[in-house]
Amino acid sequence: MPRRSSLRRLAVACLLAGLVVSSTGGAVLAAPLPADAAPGAQAAADAAATAARAPAVARRAAATSFRLERARLHRSPTARVPSQNPLAGRTWGVYKGPGDQAWPPYEKATGETKTLLGAIALAPKAKWFGTWISESQIESKVRDYVANASGGDPETLVQATVFNLKPWEHEACTRLPTSAEQTSYKRWIDGFARGVGAQHTAIILQPDGPFAMCVPGGSGVPSGLISYAAQKFSALPHTAVYIDGGAADWPYKDVNGAVDFLVRDGIRYARGVALNSTHYSATGDEVERGTAIVTELARRGIADKHVVVNTSSNGRPFVFGDAPGKDPDNATVCASRTSTHCVTLGIRPTTDVANARWGLTAAQQEHARAYVDGYLWFGRPWLYRQADPFDMERALQLVRTTPYS
């Protein structure tokens, strides 16, 4: 899998109000354990249940804008959107194979290291599939993944992340997909869909969605391809599609901008929106951003949409443009369980989105119940620059320092 280029942030800096805030680029879930539980204990419980940076002035302005938007959303009215949650009431599968960079190190580990790594390896996650897999291989790769993660049970929920659009990230701001790339993309998507078949599946579609805002000439070609995928996957009998809509801090103070590209991306065909895939924003802020997006979509006539939030990386949240360390994609991991403004694991995958333990405000709890299908792990903070390779020391420290053990 190729590493992401940090240059993509520069390509959209002017577009995003001059702020470098863009991003990179089978277990039954057990009841949450107390906050002071030993590291790795929740992973064991889950298993048992089944068996670069912006200038200082710009950063301060960004943080101020973010706080103002958050305050506004606290005052916005809520209307419950009735719908059956496709993620709830079923086993969530865990893939156990070399396709997950965290699995081989876990399998080889012993003692305390194995216990700690289990918090990542044994968690239900949405494995990424992208351009590093050819169109001739994708169907078999997905079919094998589904069989492994589901254990052969068609009712088990399997999660996957589709990241195959080319060009994307900073390159998407400089050129459009060629005719050959467009054809290949559609064939790849068709193969992926065949690999999924009738399995109960949640698909996160095209992380770093706001790069659709910087395509040359405002072309609709990239979004048209995402829309093709949304339609193809949503036509499957048991697949819920969530199109990436950025994060609470990307695009900043621009819900309408996010909704604009989501509409072009075919959100009408999808179950809803995925947020925070490569950022570190607070879960409550993502709930509010999702509420604002869903509300605006409904105002535009696209109703009954829902939200999933990546919580793999936001145990101690911060704004991406003010990330600790030299590289926001590889932001500094927390030094201890009491550290703040650093990377550590967040809420473990769950549909229990309004639990008091998550520290949400009353308004956020109400919004979560109304609009959020689940907190999922489709981010990968245990990988170098959230891409590749697996970083053992980083992974172990993420587990040691999380407040959500």
d(CA 217, CA 261): 14
Name the band, by pLDDT with cuts 50, 70 and 90, for residue 146: very high
Q: Which two tokens stand for residue 327?
A: 């590289």
Structure confidence at residue 405 (pLDDT): 79
pLDDT in tens, 231-269: 999 999 999 999 999 999 999 989 999 999 999 999 999
SS3 call for 403: coil
pTM surpassing 0.95?
Answer: no
Residue 129 neighbours by CB under 8 Å, 6+ apart: 138, 141, 142, 145, 160, 161, 162, 163, 164, 192
Query: Which residue pairs from 105-114 have beta carbons closer than 8 angstroms and sit at least 24 positions apart in sequence?
Result: 105/390, 105/392, 105/395, 113/396
Q: Is the peptide bond before 104 cis (omega within 30 degrees of 0)?
A: no
Region 87-97: mean pLDDT is 98
Q: Is the distance from CB of 402 to CB of 112 less than 8 angstroms? A: no
pLDDT class of 11 with cuts at 50, 70, 90: very low
Q: Cα(348)–Cα(37) distance, rounded to whole angstroms?
A: 14
Query: What is the C-alpha separation between 56 and 321, in angstroms, rounded?
Result: 10
Say whether pLDDT at 75 is over 50. Answer: no
Ranges of each domain in the chain: 8-401
Mean pLDDT of the chain: 86
The pLDDT of residue 100 is 97
- 195 has a pLDDT exceeding 80: yes
Q: Which H/E stretch holds residue 340? A: none
Using the predicted structure, report yes or no on whether residue 98 has a pLDDT greater than 60.
yes
Question: pLDDT category, 40, cuts 50, 70, 90?
Answer: low
The count of residues in the chain is 405
pLDDT in tens, 282-319: 999 999 999 999 999 999 999 999 999 999 999 999 99
The one-letter amino acid at 246: G
The CATH-assigned architecture of domain 8-401 is: Alpha-Beta Barrel (3.20)
Q: Does pLDDT of 131 surpass 90? A: yes
Q: What percentage of the chain reaches a pLDDT higher than 70?
A: 80
Instruction: Give the β-pairing of 201-205 and 239-244.
Output: parallel
10 Å CB burial of residue 326 (0-12, 13-18, 19+) is: exposed
Q: Answer whether residue 368 shows pLDDT above 90.
A: yes
Residues 352-367: what's their mean pLDDT?
Answer: 98
pLDDT for the residue 83: 64
DSSP secondary structure letters along 200-259: -EEEEE-SSGGGGGGSGGG-SHHHHHHHHHHHHHHTSTTEEEEEE--BTTBSTT-HHHHH
169: CB partners within 8 A, 6+ apart: 4, 5, 8, 24, 25, 208, 211
Task: Please state, in angstroms and rounded to a whole number, the distance separating the CA atoms of residues 284 and 367.
Answer: 9
Is pLDDT at 182 greater than 80 in this prediction? yes
